[in-house]
A = this chain, B = another copy of it.
Amino acid sequence: MSAYSELEDREQELSKFSELGAIAGWDEACMMPPGGGERRGQALAALTGLIHERRADPAVGELLSQARNEVLDAWQDANVDEIDRRFRAANAVPADLVKARSLATSRCEQTWREARGRNDWATVLPLLEAVVNLSRERAQALGDAMQLDPYDALLETYEPELRSSDVEREFSALKDFLPPLLDEVLGRQSDPLPLEGPFDVAQQRQLCETTMGILGFDFNRGRFDVSHHPFCGGVPDDTRITTRYDESGFLESLMAICHETGHALYQQGLPVDWRDQPVGDALGAAVHESQSLLMELQVCCSREFIEFLAPSIREAFGRDVSDPAWSGDNLYHQAIRVERGLIRVQADEVTYPLHVILRFELERELIAGRLEVRDLPEAWNAAMLKYLGRSTDGDYNNGCMQDVHWYAGLFGYFPTYTLGALTAAQWFATAREADPEIVPGIARGDLQPLLGWLRANIHGQGRRACMQPLLKEVTGSELDASYFQRHLKARYLA
């Protein structure tokens, strides 16, 4: 047996274990009764431990060296690269540090969940300091092993081969572009007519399911459920997305489902021939987000799609076309409303990148040790004033206590949201040009032309190429914020 084949066999087994973890994780969020939580956490930790141990096995290092001398095709080569990447990552961080950080983040996140209700920064501060210190150590260890700057090493764990210089270049363009655009959009925008609720949950659910079907979700290989936060989980042949409902409005659950369906289509479209191998996985968080945002913002928030969906929306809630609040035009303006808010998760596509840029700049300073946790609220407020012209007014929940990420030890993740938005615009502009059937298709609810293009160019490519080379291959250039800028101008200023 060749060394390469042996690596494949090992990965195949790990892939089975990961699948069980994915299902148990979904179950934890959607099905598990409260009393099962403690032991579920332990079971998932045991599985993670097993997978880590197998990934870090020195025998893998030997096999990798041998496989490098074997004759492999491009996919196999990329597979070896990916196995190597995982092997190095698994060996980069000492077990003691992994354990200490896991303990610290779990404590900090739990405390954050309680403290934020009381707007209580003082209580969570020392715990976040511990998390930041351990995350700095981890970033250093990862950086040493990968010969990367510590923050780049964190980015690398979310999107392979993405560097902060890539991020900075595009974010710098947005920092010039967005604030004046925002002023202009807000100056032009008029309030859409309100949509009066309440909206029955069963009717919302039905509308979401209809929309998922239109977008191409394969229900034979997936499910749709409810959870506290919308997410996409499961595995390629059993992809599970969720939303949550609020009777006072239906647009949030509907758009959450458009977003998660974008993730799901990516997962369901991964290359069948490489199901059990790392090269058959989705690329990182930025590319995944490009698929969800392409579906949510480029497709489902387009005038074409909303005009197409409007009759189904009216039918779902028994509204009449004669009511102007329920016209396609008014629904469209409801969906693309822009606001200068304090909260990232409520932000529209114009202001969202500013929220992300703020976090990217702060977390890079935190990891580099140039910013201390105790100075975070002040730095946050200064940046909010600078980028969005708003003050948190000393309210931590509207400031640095609003997102779980840092409290859970996730540093380097935030930029992927906006990189996803930029990439989505770049993919979609390219697709539209490549196949003139795509936009007319969307306008009549036929997503097949678009889906065909996504399957061939992105979904079906797995991890054969990383984000930048794939962008170059498919769109002709590496990440380029100007696509996103043109998209915003066309949508909001045309």
Contact = CB atoms under 8 A, between A and B. Distances in A.
A47 B35 contact: no
User: Size range of the interface on A?
Assistant: 35 or more
B32 A238 contact: yes
Given A17-B46, A46-B16, A237 B35 contact: yes
Contacts of A45: 16
A47 B218 contact: no
Contact of A238 (B19, B23, B36): B36
A39 B223 contact: no
A42 B20 CA distance: 10
Contact of A23 (B13, B27, B218, B221): B27
Contacts of A40: 19, 23, 238
Interface string A28-54: 000111111011101111110010000
Contact of A223 (B17, B20, B31): B31
B47 A235 contact: no
A222 interface: yes
A177 interface: no
B220 A33 contact: yes
16 contacts: A16-B42, A17-B47, A19-B39, A19-B40, A20-B24, A20-B47, A23-B24, A31-B223, A33-B219, A33-B222, A33-B238, A35-B218, A36-B234, A36-B238, A40-B238, A50-B50
A44 B13 CA distance: 11
A54 to B, nearest CB: 10
A449 interface: no
Contacts of A237: 35-36, 38-39
Contacts of A220: 33-35
A31 B224 CA distance: 10
The DSSP consensus for interface residues of chain A is helix
Contacts of A32: 238
B39 A238 contact: yes
Interface of A: 13, 16-17, 19-21, 23-24, 27, 31-36, 38-40, 42-47, 50, 218-223, 234-235, 237-238, 275
Given A27-B23, A27-B27, A47 B16 contact: yes
A19 B157 CA distance: 29
A44 B218 CA distance: 23
Nearest to A47: B20
Contacts of A223: 31, 33
Contacts of A234: 36
A20 B39 contact: no
A36 to B, nearest CB: 3
B39 A275 contact: yes
B24 A43 contact: no
B20 A235 contact: no
A20 B18 CA distance: 11
A366 B19 CA distance: 39
A2 B16 CA distance: 34
Given A19-B43, A20-B21, A35-B218, 18 more contacts: A13-B46, A16-B43, A17-B43, A17-B46, A17-B47, A19-B40, A20-B43, A23-B23, A23-B40, A31-B223, A33-B223, A34-B220, A35-B220, A35-B237, A36-B235, A38-B237, A39-B238, A39-B275
Chain B CB within 10 A, most for which of A33, A45, A218, A221: A33
A249 B209 CA distance: 31
Contacts of A34: 220
Contacts of A275: 39
A318 B151 CA distance: 66
A19 B27 CA distance: 12
Nearest to A46: B16
A449 to B, nearest CB: 24
